[in-house]
Amino acid sequence: MEQQIKSIEQEVRDFTITSNELLENFRLKFISKKGLIPSLFEELKKASPEEKKKLGKELNALKQLAEGKYKSAQEETENTADKPHEEIDLSLPVIPHKLGNQHPLSLTRYRIIEIFERLGFNLADGPEIEDDWHNFTALNFPPNHPAREMQDTFFIEKNPDVLLRTHTSNVQVRLMKKQPPPIRSIMPGRVFRNEAISARAHCFFHQVEGLYIDKNVGFADLKQTLYSFAQEMYGKDIKIRYRPSFFPFTEPSAEIDISCLICKGKGCNLCKHSGWVEIAGSGMVHPNVLRHGNIDPEEYTGFAFGMGIERVTQLLFQVNDLRLYSENDTRFLRQFRPVLS
């Protein structure tokens, strides 16, 4: 009988089950009531008590082996065999994979950075949550001076010294304190003003600040730097003009306009029929600001400018509503590709 158990065990091991039919054959042959294993159990009844103990153990192991194999084969055939194959139609078009793209404001920012880097400017950064001193006082805004009203500021109620920066000019004095001249940096970033949201205004927007401080930096450098920038950004035909203006931290100060790209100077809605569009504020850094940055105004001079990124983007891509930039509507955002030089 021992021999029989061994040979049936071998048979169980060698039996390959690849279909439901073979699975049933396996069951009938080994496990079913009339199968080989139950008949061995019948025979075992006749054996002597010692033999019963020994052979019973072996027979139980064989039974377990066969039942185990049956169960796992059953699971496998349930999953695969005799099930209708899922139809795969290889001629169907693939589901398009949507790649993201950069936000139009980011595209403009990268382009501005690229142009100024070529002109020798490096990149600097400053905090959006700022103290009064860096945003106003250090920039020559005296306390309670009406010039502070030009920028409707978000203050923190608990601590009136803390505010959301109203312009990227807050980085100017931070930079001066960090490194001695020459300084030639641009500082892009987000700024905040308490303005009613409309197509033309939002409570936050983006600027790029520029600062150049060295010996003998003059207004001509400012003019040529921004003219070169405008030509790189908008093409060689662009016209540029400087209008006298006022900022407490620059003297003299000027607003920078470029000829309207949409109507080419003829007059349209974007340029309010003037033919010109304002893109930046600028001027020669005020001596008091240099002093606050521990720089001697007798030795060094410099220019600064602040450019609105939204405005530049609007001209590049001809978007006429500012709100679109922060609505996260992918139908709008998907339309923009890098502007190549």
**Which residue carries 């001027």 as its tokens?**
283
Sign of the C-alpha dihedral computed for residues 46, 51, 53 and 58 taken in this order: negative
Residues 6+ apart with CB under 8 A from 6: none
* Binding status of residue 306 toward ligand PHE by CB under 6 A: yes
222-238 exposure pattern, b = at least 16 Cβ within 10 A, e = fewer: bbebbbebbebbbeeee
* Binding status of residue 169 toward ligand PHE by CB under 6 A: yes
Determine the interface stretch with ligand PHE among 43-51, 71-79, 281-289, 293-301 (rule: CB under 6 A): 281-289
* Binding status of residue 69 toward ligand PHE by CB under 6 A: no
Q: Helices (DSSP H) in 119-169: which residue ranges?
A: 132-135
* Sites for ligand PHE among residues 236-255 (CB under 6 A): 247, 250
Nearest in space to 189 (alpha carbons), one of 306, 304, 91: 306
Determine the interface stretch with ligand PHE among 20-28, 121-129, 220-228, 280-288 (rule: CB under 6 A): 280-288
* Binding status of residue 229 toward ligand PHE by CB under 6 A: no
Nearest in space to 13 (alpha carbons), one of 28, 38, 30, 1: 30
- Residue 26 or 247 having the CB closest to ligand PHE: 247
The answer to whether 282 and 250 have CB atoms below 8 angstroms apart is: yes
- Residue 69 or 165 having the CB closest to ligand PHE: 165
The answer to whether 250 and 256 have CB atoms below 8 angstroms apart is: no
* Binding-site member from 189, 281, 293, 302 for ligand PHE (CB under 6 A): 281
Q: 3-class DSSP state for residue 250?
A: strand
* Binding-site member from 282, 301, 313, 314 for ligand PHE (CB under 6 A): 282
- Residue 69 or 206 having the CB closest to ligand PHE: 206
- Residue 181 or 306 having the CB closest to ligand PHE: 306
- Measured from the Cβ of residue 274, the count of other Cβ atoms closer than 10 Å reads 13
Shortest Cβ distance from residue 282 to ligand PHE (Å)? 5
Shortest Cβ distance from residue 273 to ligand PHE (Å)? 23
Residues touching ligand PHE, count (CB under 6 A) = 10
Determine the interface stretch with ligand PHE among 53-61, 196-204, 299-307, 310-318 (rule: CB under 6 A): 299-307
* Binding-site member from 173, 183, 295, 304 for ligand PHE (CB under 6 A): 304
Residues 6+ apart with CB under 8 A from 26: 15, 17, 66, 69, 70, 73
* Binding status of residue 170 toward ligand PHE by CB under 6 A: no
Strand order in the sheet with 155-156: 129-131, 159-164, 155-156
* Binding status of residue 183 toward ligand PHE by CB under 6 A: no
* Binding-site member from 126, 188, 189, 283 for ligand PHE (CB under 6 A): 283
Binding positions for ligand PHE, rule: CB under 6 A = 167, 169, 247, 250, 281-283, 304-306
